[in-house]
Structures are given as C-alpha cells and as structure tokens.
Amino acid sequence: MTDECVFCRIIRKEVPSQPIHEDHDLIAFPDKDPVAPVHVLVVPKEHMVNLNEAGIKDVPVLGKMLRLAARIANEMGVAESGYRVVINNGDDGGQVVPHLHLHLIGGKGLGAKLG
C-alpha cells in the first residue's frame, strides 16, 4: 500500500466508503461518480498500479475480482439484463486512480456493442 493512493487509504479506513463487499483480498464499493445506476469498483487490497504490474502470483486475485463482479451484478439485479466489466489501464486507457481496479457498470443500456 502507498500513503498517497486513495484506494489504499480507503482500504486502511482513512477515507470513508460504503463497502458492498470486503474480504482478505478485495474491497468493493460504489463509484463516487457513477455513470449508471449500478457502478461499483472492485479493488484488490494489494497495491499494484495496473495490469502491467500484475504477475503470475496475482492470477488468483484477478480471477476473484471477476467472480466478485458477477456475484455483485446478480445481487444488484443486473445480471440478467446485462452489465459491463471494465479495467482502464494507463493514461491512454482512461485510468484515473493508479491502483488496479475493475468497474462493474449496469442498470441501463450501455450503448454500442464492443464485440
């Protein structure tokens, strides 16, 4: 963890959040600037800047992030209608906070299909 990282500060309970889920590896909480009715951030507690820093040892927590996103989508009622899972990586990828995190976005039509 780093002293200045806002997500590390949330993990240390120095910055208030409203956790939807928290365990040994992850914390999930609503995005402070939601782009949809459901917009949750899933954040690993171990600080890594982005996917480029993730190594083979991080594969279990990365998989756990995806499974947690699916579980929260189900709990929040957007699993059936559909939702988006996004990881912004680096400046050109739109990453604002330099701590790896996943956006779970749903609860409305999300526009153009990507694939």
Q: Which residues are catalytic?
A: 101
The CA distance from 108 to 24, in Å, is 31
CB 41 within 8 A of CB 101: yes
Residue 26 tokens, joined:
């992850």
Kindly state the helix (H) or strand (E) to which residue 8 belongs, with its residue range: helix 6-11
